[in-house]
């Protein structure tokens, strides 16, 4: 669904200057497949799967979600959904992945559309548009959630997201920018605040010409770090930026890493590693390092890097396991993500998921246990 669109056609790989500082300082002793995550029967497929501990629950967010039956609005499609569980022991898989459902037994949209976006989607995409649309039919605004982080000081969660204009056909979409949504409580709605009132789209913290800080995010000592990994060909050089967590929705608070310092302009930023548009970065106490986990682009390999700090220097990548291939030979597994809230024994045991297509607009998210050396 999502990652295949973001990659585009393969071309000449870019060099990632300064990336790769030797072998990772966290080897993997064994990998154990724990099967697919069990969602509500109405879920036909959903990709993404970023997660974080928020309160006493593990909260998961997903991008494009297809349904076996239409929801109360008559649509079989959602741009973003979520679920959560109080099961923090993933050693035998995860249970009780619960999510709110509408009267028809389908999940609603996690990220709310503005009135303008919703009106456009209703006129161009979905069952109603099939009867009335005259021009640009099948086009839609999409809001894809990325990393989720909890703010312990306020009790709320922040959800990074991308805004796109998607149209029918392979790779036919335009990235419009990225931002941060505010989630005050799990049983309440998300808010997309107007973070740049003077911009064309005031809800977007970063415009289409700025790095999309939606690849990975983490909080360390009151500072929020976020990564942007835009792909060119088979290489996805990653930039990292940071801001005080309390000022996360203020564009002027963000600084980008460049040559040992943090600078205001993203044009001066330098890649710190090659990763993926969807990945995870978190501290691992067992290794005493930050670890990055991601799907190697256009491959079934899940890779790992380590670093002493969020900005690096990051190690070379190492393959930690090979994901199960989809039945379609033209597809590949993607969205390899680590889940820090599920780690056991101080991080000696980590848990990773990835998305695997199983049919037309259908797929599964598989859970894998990693035992570190």
pLDDT for the residue 1 = 55
How confident is the model over 126-160, as pLDDT tens digits? 888 888 999 999 999 999 999 999 999 999 999 99
How confident is the model over 76-93, as pLDDT tens digits? 999 999 999 999 999 999
Tokens of 182: 């505010």
When pLDDT is averaged across residues 319-347 and rounded to a whole number, the result is: 96
pLDDT range class, residue 18, cuts 50, 70, 90: very low
pLDDT for the residue 21 = 73
Residue 212 has pLDDT above 60, yes or no: yes
Where are the chain's structural domains? 2-372
| 8 Å CB contact between 236 and 303 | no
**β-sheet with 289-295: strand ranges across:** 279-284, 289-295, 301-307, 318-322
Residue 241 has pLDDT above 60, yes or no: yes
pLDDT for the residue 151 = 97
pLDDT for the residue 140 = 96
224: which strand partners?
A: 219, 243
Helix, strand, or coil (residue 121): helix
What is the second-level CATH architecture of the domain 2-372? 5 Propeller (2.115)
When pLDDT is averaged across residues 186-210 and rounded to a whole number, the result is: 96
Cis peptide before 313 (omega within 30 of 0): yes
Residue 244 has pLDDT above 90, yes or no: yes
More confident residue, 234 or 318: 318
How confident is the model over 41-71, as pLDDT tens digits? 999 999 999 999 999 999 999 999 999 999 9
Tokens of 284: 């691992």
Residue 271 has pLDDT above 90, yes or no: yes
Q: How many CA atoms lie within 13 A of 135 on its CB side?
A: 0
β-pairing, 237-244 vs 216-220, is unpaired
- DSSP string of 119-183? HHHHHHSSHHHHHH--SSTT-EEEEEEEEEEEETTTTEEEEEEEEEEE-SSTT-EEEEEEEEEEE
Burial zone of 188 (CB within 10 Å; 0-12 exposed, 13-18 middle, 19+ buried): exposed
């Amino acid at each position: 669904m999502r990652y295949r669109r973001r990659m585009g056609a393969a071309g000449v790989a870019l060099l990632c200057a300064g990336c790769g500082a030797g072998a990772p300082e966290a080897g993997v002793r064994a990998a154990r497949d724990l099967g697919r995550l069990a969602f509500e029967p109405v879920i036909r497929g959903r990709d993404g799967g970023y997660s974080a501990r928020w309160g006493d629950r593990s909260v998961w967010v997903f991008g494009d979600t297809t349904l076996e039956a239409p929801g109360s609005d008559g649509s079989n499609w959602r741009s973003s959904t979520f679920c959560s569980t109080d099961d923090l022991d993933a050693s035998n898989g995860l249970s009780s992945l619960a999510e709110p459902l509408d009267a028809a037994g389908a999940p609603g949209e996690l990220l709310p559309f503005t009135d303008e976006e919703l009106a456009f989607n209703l006129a161009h995409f979905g069952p109603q548009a099939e009867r009335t649309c005259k021009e640009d039919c099948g086009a839609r605004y999409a809001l894809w959630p990325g990393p989720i982080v909890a703010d312990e000081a306020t009790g709320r969660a922040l959800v990074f997201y991308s805004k796109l204009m998607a149209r029918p056909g392979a790779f036919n979409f335009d990235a419009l920018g990225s931002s941060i949504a505010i989630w005050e409580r799990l049983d309440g709605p998300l808010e997309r605040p107007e973070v740049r009132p003077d911009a064309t789209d005031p809800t977007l913290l970063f415009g289409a010409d700025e790095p999309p800080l939606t690849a990975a995010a983490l909080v360390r000592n009151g500072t929020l770090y976020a990564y942007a990994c835009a792909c060119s060909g088979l290489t996805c050089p990653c930039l990292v930026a940071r801001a005080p967590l309390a000022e996360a929705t203020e564009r002027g608070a963000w600084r980008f890493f460049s040559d040992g310092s943090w600078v205001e302009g993203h044009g001066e930023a330098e890649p710190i590693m090659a990763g993926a548009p969807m990945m995870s970065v978190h501290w691992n106490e067992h290794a005493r390092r930050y670890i990055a986990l991601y799907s190697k682009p256009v491959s079934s390999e899940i890779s790992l890097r380590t670093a002493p700090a969020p900005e690096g220097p990051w190690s070379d990548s190492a393959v930690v396991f090979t994901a199960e291939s989809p039945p379609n030979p033209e597809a590949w597994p993607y969205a390899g993500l680590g889940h820090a809230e599920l780690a056991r024994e101080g991080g000696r045991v980590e848990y990773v998921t990835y998305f695997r297509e199983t049919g037309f607009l259908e797929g599964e998210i598989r859970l894998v246990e990693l035992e570190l050396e």
